[in-house]
Structure 1
Amino acid sequence: MSITTKLRYWRTYRRTVTELQGMTDRQLSDLGIGRSEINRIARQAAAA
């Protein structure tokens, strides 16, 4: 994996985590997401 790819992955991961952590529990619940799932979901988003 090149450094460019790793950087892109990291930036997508951080952006996703930041956005999801900024949501209320109600908003996350409406999406079917629990706070404990944020990191896993962000990893999946970055890998896509």
Structure 2
Amino acid sequence: MAYVTTTPVARKGFADRLAFVKDVVLAAINQRRVYTRTVAELNSLTDRELSDLGISRLGITEIAREAAYGK
């Protein structure tokens, strides 16, 4: 008994590739916006407010990076 296996070839046109690149760029822009917004909001807090949250000024960028990009 013979079996035939076919594997579909994924052919993506230029428009599909362009849409993919657009999606990647928009995702990166959105992540950067989250990062900058988080840094700005945390920097606007006083040292007392940051202390109440358990955050030091040195940790703001790390917290923003985790918020935007994950661990």
Q: Which structure has more RCO (C-alpha within 8 Å, separation ≥ 6)?
A: 1
Per the normalisation by structure 2, the TM-score is 0.64
TM value normalised by structure 1: 0.93
| Residue in 1 that maps onto 2:34 | 12
Please give the alpha-carbon distance, in whole angstroms, between the structure 1 residues aligned to 2:35 and 2:44.
14
Which structure has the greater CA radius of gyration?
A: 2
Greater helix percent: which structure? Answer: 1
Identity of aligned residues (%): 48
Cα deviation, 1:1-48, whole Å, max 9, x if unaligned, reads 810110010000000000000000000000000000000000000124
Q: Which runs of 5+ in 1 are unaligned?
A: none
